[in-house]
Chains A and B, each alone.
Chain A
Amino acid sequence: MINLTIDGKNVTVPRGTMLLEACRLAGADIPTLCYDPELKLAGSCRMCVVEVEGRRTLAASCVTPAEEGMVVQTESEEVVEARKVILELLLARHRLDCHVCEKDGNCRLQDYCYRYGVKDSRFKGEEPHFYKDDPNPFIERDYDKCIMCTKCVRACAEITGAFAINLKNRGHEVVISTAFDGGLKDSTCVFCGQCVMVCPVGALVSKVEKGRGRDYQTEKVRTICSYCGTGCTLELKVLNDQVVGVNSVRDERLSPVNRGALCVKGRFGWDFVNSKERLTQPLVRKDGELVPVSWDEALDYTASRLKEIKERWGAGSMAVFTSARTTNEENYLAQKLARAVIGTNNVDHCARL
């Protein structure tokens, strides 16, 4: 174990603990932009810098291991000055349109500017010119708001394994790009939207959710994705009784299956919930027309037809196909129905195709 002093408090942490973690244990709220506990460390945003006594430079706490006897200040004058200047530098390349931004109220840059009272930038000059027009139905790439934390690049590589995006150019001209700077649909992108999930600002937003309600306006309903049997946890954003978006739940305890990761369907394909064409009650075809009926009538009709077929052609004439969109339990019940009630072993499942 290692003993160190953080903001005057003595803290004991296991060897290998990074200062960021140690500072948080000591009750310090360290701002971070590029840090994500599930991604490889970048150490590049420099917002998490702290002052370590005896060191020439400020230490990025996310990549600095705690050492025995360290004396750390998390909000010293130098630290605050550095964070303010970094925020000002970011503001100078960030198109400030919080009033129409999807991430308003849920944006790290906004939060930290508020925290450190950074109203404007002393370093304004050339305006941002990084917007990437990308005609795809899911992800908007407004790099005029990008703060170059590279979380999207890392999430794409490390969570999804798609390696669709990386950095292009150098210095101030660095932008996130696909190979040959094309659209996402011409890259290895699978539109899982993990990049949208990790973006701390409004640079990557869901086109499907755009304009339908800001995060703070919506009620959150945690549920399981209905698309397949994997059982990914997601959080519905509900406004006026309508689903207007989907959030990732990254807490492993709440989302043990997917830890926030989703696929294109779960993240962007939820709009069917609001469709008027959805089946909301049972229909039975009568004289060539589908007619709404009660559940009792529908079930009685189905049971009687199954019985008729079995009597006339035998149980072997029937088969049950089930779907990956239902749960394991539902699939179990379906095969049980096939074997025990209908009396056939003709059971199959779309996942086998």
Chain B
Amino acid sequence: MKGEKRIILEYADKINPEKAEDYIKVGGYKGLEKARRMKPKKIIEEVKKSNLRGRGGAGFNTGMKWSFIPENAPIKYVVCNLDEGEPGTYKDRIICEKNAQALLEGMAICATAIGAEKGYIYCRGEYPYIVKLLNNAIKSAKEIGALEDFDIEVRMGAGAYVCGEETALIESIEGQRGEPRFKPPFPGVEGLWGMPTVVNNVETFACLPYILVNGAEWFASIGAPNYPGTKILTLTGDINNPTYFEVPTDYLLSDVIYELGGGIKSGRELKAVQVGGSSGAFIPKKNIDTPIDFDSMTKIGASLGSGAVFVLDETRDIVDIATRIAKFFKHESCGKCNPCREGTFRMYEMMTRINKGLGKPEDIENILVLSRVMQKASLCGLGQAAPIPIETSIKHFKSDYMAKLN
């Protein structure tokens, strides 16, 4: 579509993602071939130079992450995060459905760079058909020898949002309860089964073949300089085109909504947009002329996160939506740390009270205090991010809350 820039999704629906041969016909596995001729350190340098930043939500420099892996460790692992738990996010599923081989190639490039022989894909429990697709894709790539000795195993989650957090994901692969570990030690030093491990998102891995083939400078010159490349966005809510788009990272949020998204349904006005899934901040209409890249989103108090774009029209009850989000986090908190376990639960209680018209002004005060402490003191990103949508909905739509107070 006009305005899009397709790199990962260039051949979407034109090739069979399960067939390595199809992928090779459109230039696939050339990046891996190139990487295998390079010294591991040079691959990491190249990825660093491309300034590729993690597409899962944290936006950490990928090459930098790889460089933390100690060279002399006897065993290392590559883990792909396909947990995709953020409500409204479905980009990783799309990448698998359209271009699964690029993910496999990206993982193999990473394995070549850090010296790993084994990779795991941790797949969201709600995607059983993707597990099948990936297993067929791996089989096909193995059969024609594209992956050489690098083995990839697909592991399935059981529907826990927290397992998208890299250390909880590792615990889950190990067969433990899905709970995050404290960091440090980071997975790069002590990850899967105590060995140095790279955990990257599907989209991050899928960028790598194109970086290797076209060069770091090429990638670095696309989109926003501090967060270059493309980003796959998934649109949901009151939008005319609730689908996915791949755009350069300097693309404006307002254009995502009004150009690619085709505007608000039924010709209504925009009330707010939530970017990055349920843990993202609510962005009021006045802030939408902002590029979607990581740093620009941070500047307006939001986050790009996974790239989910949830659009609300003027008729939506934001207090009700924030209450539902609070319920989601109450349900998904693993229960390990106090601020998140009890905080998400009490947050939902207070939000429910307000939403039912039984709230008092001190409920809002207490929510804000709790929100601050959860963000500062929770163990992992779940508890730190859970209050953000609530807090920002109060910040930008205080009058909606006041109208519901008892």
Contacts and interface: CB of A to CB of B under 8 A. Distances in A.
Interface stretch (B142-150, B230-238, B303-311, B329-337): B329-337
B209 to A, nearest CB: 33
Contacts of B339: 46, 82, 85-86, 89
B377 A172 contact: no
Contacts of A44: 336-338, 379
Given A85-B373, A122-B366, A172-B335, A43 B379 contact: yes
B238 to A, nearest CB: 30
B349 A126 contact: yes
B379 A81 contact: no
A49 interface: yes
A170 interface: yes
Contact of B338 (A45, A57, A173): A45
B333 A89 contact: no
B61 to A, nearest CB: 17
Contact of A174 (B331, B341, B366, B378): B341
A80 to B, nearest CB: 11
Nearest to A84: B373
A123 B338 contact: no
A78 interface: yes
A57 B376 contact: yes
A177 to B, nearest CB: 12
A322 B349 CA distance: 65
B387 to A, nearest CB: 12
B274 interface: no
Nearest to B340: A171
B182 interface: yes
A57 B337 CA distance: 15
A152 interface: no
**Interface majority SS on B: helix, strand, loop or mixed?**
helix
Interface stretch (A58-66, A197-205, A255-263, A271-279): A58-66
A46 B345 contact: no
Contacts of B366: 122-123
A272 to B, nearest CB: 41
A340 to B, nearest CB: 57
A63 B335 contact: no
B377 A89 contact: no
Contacts, number: 106
Given A89-B346, A125-B349, A46 B335 contact: no
Interface string B370-387: 101101111100001000
B335 A148 contact: yes
Contacts of A125: 345-346, 349-350
A171 B341 contact: yes
Contact of A171 (B344, B369, B372, B377): B344
A85 B370 contact: yes
Contacts of B341: 148, 171-172, 174
Interface string A174-214: 10000000000000000000000000000000000000000
A81 B338 contact: no
Given A60-B182, A81-B373, A85-B370, A46 B342 contact: no
Interface string A275-303: 00000000000000000000000000000
B177 interface: yes
A92 interface: yes
B355 to A, nearest CB: 14
Interface residues of B, number: 34
Contacts of A81: 369, 372-373
A170 B376 contact: no
Interface string B153-164: 000000010000
B375 A57 contact: yes
A180 to B, nearest CB: 16
Given A57-B377, A85-B370, A167-B177, A172 B330 contact: yes
Counting chain A residues whose Cβ lies within 8 A of the other chain, the interface size class is 35 or more
Contacts of A42: 336
B377 A92 contact: no
Contacts of B346: 89, 92, 123, 125
B343 interface: yes
B184 interface: yes
| Residue of B184, B349, B384 ringed by the most chain A CB atoms within 10 A | B349
A240 interface: no
Contact of B342 (A60, A78, A89): A89
Among B342, B370, B378, chain A packs the most CB atoms within 10 A around the CB of: B342
A93 interface: yes
A58 B377 contact: yes
A233 to B, nearest CB: 33
A194 B339 CA distance: 27
A317 interface: no
Contact of A93 (B184, B336, B342): B342
A169 interface: yes
A11 interface: no
Nearest to B347: A123
A181 to B, nearest CB: 15
A333 interface: no
A209 B373 CA distance: 39
A337 interface: no
A92 B345 CA distance: 11
A201 to B, nearest CB: 13
A49 B330 contact: no
Contact of A148 (B331, B332, B338): B338
Contacts of A86: 338-339, 373, 377
11 contacts: A44-B336, A57-B377, A78-B376, A93-B342, A123-B370, A148-B335, A170-B331, A170-B334, A171-B333, A172-B341, A173-B335
Nearest first, the 4 A-B pairs at minimum CB distance are A174-B335, A172-B345, A89-B342, A43-B182
Interface of B: 160, 177, 182, 184, 330-339, 341-346, 349-350, 362, 366, 369-370, 372-373, 375-379, 384
Given A46-B377, A86-B373, A123-B349, 14 more contacts: A47-B338, A49-B376, A65-B184, A82-B377, A86-B338, A93-B342, A122-B369, A125-B345, A148-B341, A166-B177, A170-B332, A172-B344, A172-B345, A173-B335
